[in-house]
Amino acid sequence: MKLPSDNVIRGPERAPNRSLFYALGYTEEQLGRPLIGVISAYSEIVPGHMNLDKITRSVKDGVLMNGGTPIMIPSIGVCDGIAMGHVGMKYSLPSRELIADSVESMAIAHGIDALVLVPNCDKIVPGMIMGALRLNLPTILVSGGPMLAGQNDSGSLSLSSLFEAVGSYKANMITEAELCQIEQDACPSCGSCAGMYTANSMHCLTEAIGIALPGNGTTPEPYSERQRLAKASGVAIMELLRKGIRIKDIINEKSINNAITCDMALGCSTNTVLHLLAIATEAGIDVDLNIFNEISERTPNLCHLAPAGPTHMEDLFMAGGVAAVQKELAKKDLLDLDLMTVTTKTVGENIEPIKTYDNGAVRSIDDPYSEVGGLAILYGNIAEHGSVVKRSAVSDEMLKHEGPARVFDSEDDAIRTIYEGGIKPGDVVVIRYEGPKGGPGMREMLNPTSALAGMKLDKSVALITDGRFSGASRGAAIGHVSPEAALGGAIGIIEEGDIISIDIPNYQLNLKISDEEYAKRMENYQPKETNPMTGWLNRYRRMVAGSHKGAVLE
């Protein structure tokens, strides 16, 4: 079997290339083995990545044990929590494209034969997968794993608890001393933040789609089992290479549907819609946004992890992890169990031996939280191309809501008004010009949603935006409204006091004005020139597609 590395280090013409490998300290014996790229996002600025040097080392051990030559290649990664609430968040989603480009560039430039992806947080996971799909090499992903939950007198904590505590403090519900104590307690270890936020959602979905070993979704980062999983991943990549199993043999339309099904059962982040669409695009698969509602209609929601409920990732791990959810779904034939995975076994073979435990983190398929899935795509006259809400994190009284619009042309203006107590029960906060182009970069807006939750307004106030929300957001937070305001979308014609109608069970989001008034406003609407940016975000703004296409670059 001819390998990509043959083009780099084989034959007399490649003597100069080999010389540079020798300069790196590689031996002739090492260059006689397959070159395995270990793409590591280790850094000292992301809590989820601070331990990836150890995960990377364990992956390399596994590769060495099974006859390969591991080569660590670094990747960037933005911490969404640290970037939240300021201009830094504009760089979060766009960095996904930089990561994909860098994986493609480094692997092709250096003749890498197979890939082990070692990410942990949010868009780093899909970014690496997108780059790997362009290469179609044997690929396996092992993430760093989730953080342990914090603890205080009131119970378990996670990062969303702290963001909500800020809202409580602004509303004079807690003291500054209490806020500071939660600040110390919320994030007790390395790892991706402890709830079913975007990072952990993506960990679970890599397992569900078949490109990560069982346990990858939920094994906590501080546990030694995570190191064993990394070593096993290094061993497994060599088997994939020998058997010629490539990433596109695993990621296909059926496995993406499996992932969406698990997404609905787990109650994952709304950002998974963006990332699964982007992954599908790189795989050459045309995924219609409506498939999310179609799968949701037949998939019960089985989990209410933080922010939707009191359980955290370690609870899901103890219940049996993603496999526990898959076993429940399999009882009603909701998954394709015959699909190939990176174990070289099928989904069904992978989950059959897994032991599951009833600790409250995963409900039975016969006793779900709801008969429909955790996400919903809403359409209407202000969301022609769709919008998305984490239905499982919406209180029953907000599933249907009508209220007056409170309109803001940036997150900064909205959060200022929220902190000042300017939002009242019944309001619908509209935040626009925060989309992929308008932002640019489609900022996550955890501060507004968490502030409202901390002020106990999450059961009476809704938010809609052409930007996006964190996986840690809860309440009637409807994001990804498309077309966005900067592209002339109807979210831009909403005026202060207009009545907004939200009907999540019927997938509707509408502005309640007459057809004549709607047509008049749309005819006269000129998007504002907002948020001028320098640097590469200007290029991103020119090239990025709408959120209904996964915000990929065109």
Query: In angstroms, what CA-CA distances link 379 with 354, 387, 405?
Result: 39, 6, 18
Bridge partners, 402 (sequence order): 501
Q: Are β-strands 155-157 and 428-431 bridged in parallel, bridged antiparallel, or unpaired?
A: unpaired
Bridge partners, 157 (sequence order): 150
Dig out the tokens for 57 from the structure: 């080392």
Host H or E run for residue 73 = strand 69-74
The amino acid sitting at 477 is A
CA–CA separation, 299 and 406 (whole Å): 34
Q: Are 125 and 203 in contact (CB under 8 A)?
A: yes
Query: In angstroms, what CA-CA distances link 19 with 24, 549, 551?
Result: 9, 45, 42
Residue found under tokens 């309440």: 475
Dig out the tokens for 321 from the structure: 């992890």
Residue found under tokens 């090492």: 30
Bridge partners, 305 (sequence order): 311
Residue found under tokens 């990176």: 342
CA–CA separation, 514 and 308 (whole Å): 36
Q: Are 312 and 304 in contact (CB under 8 A)?
A: no
Catalytic residue among 102, 470, 473, 482: 470
CA–CA separation, 512 and 339 (whole Å): 46
If we measure between CA atoms, which residue out of 491, 488, 463 comes closest to residue 478?
A: 463
Q: Are 400 and 503 in contact (CB under 8 A)?
A: yes
DSSP SS3 for 21: helix
If we measure between CA atoms, which residue out of 265, 375, 370, 391 comes closest to residue 325?
A: 265
CA–CA separation, 247 and 253 (whole Å): 13
Residue found under tokens 């378990």: 156
DSSP SS3 for 520: helix
Q: Are 107 and 117 in contact (CB under 8 A)?
A: no
The amino acid sitting at 387 is S
368 CB-near residues (< 8 Å, 6+ apart): 300, 301, 302
The amino acid sitting at 271 is N
Q: Is 154 a catalytic residue?
A: no
What secondary structure letter does DSSP report for 463? E
Beta strands per DSSP E along 89-238: 114-118, 139-141, 150-152, 155-157
Q: Are 74 and 40 in contact (CB under 8 A)?
A: yes
The dihedral over CA atoms of 393, 398, 401, 407, expressed in degrees to the nearest 10, equals: -60
Cα-to-chain-centroid distance, residue 321: 18
Q: Annotated active-site positions, please? A: 470
